[in-house]
Amino acid sequence: GRVNYVVTHLIQAIRSREGSFSSIERLGAGSYYEHVKVFEPNEFDIMLLMPVARLQLDECDDTGAYYYLSFKRNPKEKYLLKFLDEDGKLSAFKMLQALREIIKQEVKNIKDEEVTVKRQKAGSPAITLQIKNPPSEISVDIILTLEVQQSWPPSTQDGLKIEQWLGRKVRNEFRNRSLYLVAKQNKKEKVLRGNTWRLSFSHIEKHMLNNHGSSKTCCESDGPKCCRKGCLKLLKYLLEQLKMQYTKQLEKFCSYHVKTAFFHSCVMWPKDTDWQSGDLEYCFQKYLGYFLDCLQKSQLPHFFIPQYNLLSPEDKVSNYFLSELLSYELNNGFPIFQE
């Protein structure tokens, strides 16, 4: 409720200003909205969507995930022209700066809640708000997202292999949805200019998690229950607990690794009977086994962009370190859950 109050206030204020961001919409993304949050809800991700008709996408590295954006011809969205850099590319940095300034001014006008804007983390696509009132602090990441009405780029062609799990029709329907791009710094860029954007599939991931059964009624009120989400929550919890103990060694890992391995597992074991609710322990160990295998090989393909490896071999040491910790847990009956 408090998050909605603050975000609704901000969106109305941003829209009422004539100018660049007057067409934004909101989308709740991340674990809270996918119903797989494992601790109390004190962190929220809100995507602010800006509709754009067409953009030219140029890959900026070999991952197939990061792009430079420019306009093919005179855009309808004239207000975006002031965010072009000297090469005519749409600058993520400039757009984030501008949005950040508006939000900094607007949080001062929010009554009843003490809201501050946290300092920008280098390379982060988020503008982070801290809502301070007791009983607890809440952090809200606002993520500027372009919603582009055009077909997905070639790097996604062989991804989203859900035909056996959710069906070919669902895959086609997903691929006809808009393309999302978030303002995300690509660390591989030789000169960090802050003008790269990364593909985002949050809207599709949210849909897959909330409609995860091969039968349409899986986990609905009168349908059969499965343990897919239970497995995902357990591995997220396990990783979060380990990260608390080994913060430095595991800083490279995030819940997105666990979620990606989860989607691959759903494809490998596509039937609802593969995930019966009474088989939680067995299913969890099978899913964890797959994730361990990925860590040991330093190979976890992005679910939508198969050429993009989320566990790069140059992080072999930390991949191996996490696999050792997880193997220990698995072989000793998960002492961390007993704590």
Residue 88 to residues 23, 147, 280, Cα–Cα distance (Å)? 22, 20, 52
With residue 58 as reference, give the H or E element that holds it.
Answer: strand 56-59
pLDDT at residue 123 tops 70: no
Tell which residue, 161, 174, 177, has the closest CA to residue 211. 174
pLDDT tens digits, one per residue of 131-189:
887 677 888 888 899 999 999 999 999 999 999 999 999 999 999 999 999 988 777 76
Beta bridge partners of 117: 129
Phi, psi of 27 (to 5 degrees): -140, 125
Residues in the chain: 339
Per-residue pLDDT at 318: 96
Q: How many domains does the chain have?
A: 2
Per-residue pLDDT at 30: 63
Q: Is residue 209 part of a domain?
A: no
In this prediction, residue 41 has a pLDDT band, given cuts at 50, 70 and 90, of: low
pLDDT tens digits, one per residue of 221-246:
888 999 999 999 999 999 999 999 99
- Mean pLDDT for 185-206 is 81
Tell me whether residue 339 is exposed, middle or buried, using C-beta atoms within 10 angstroms of its C-beta: 0 to 12, 13 to 18, 19 or more.
exposed
- Mean pLDDT for 190-194 is 63
Residues 156 and 290 in one domain: no
Per-residue pLDDT at 187: 72
Beta bridge partners of 116: 130
Q: Is residue 207 part of a domain?
A: no
Per-residue pLDDT at 118: 87
What domain range includes position 220? 216-337
pTM of the model: 0.91
Question: How many CB atoms neighbour CB 193 within 10 A?
Answer: 17
Residues 263 and 188 in one domain: no
Per-residue pLDDT at 54: 87
Give the CATH number, domain containing residue 331: 1.10.1410.40
Residues 277 and 310 in one domain: yes
Q: Is residue 328 part of a domain?
A: yes
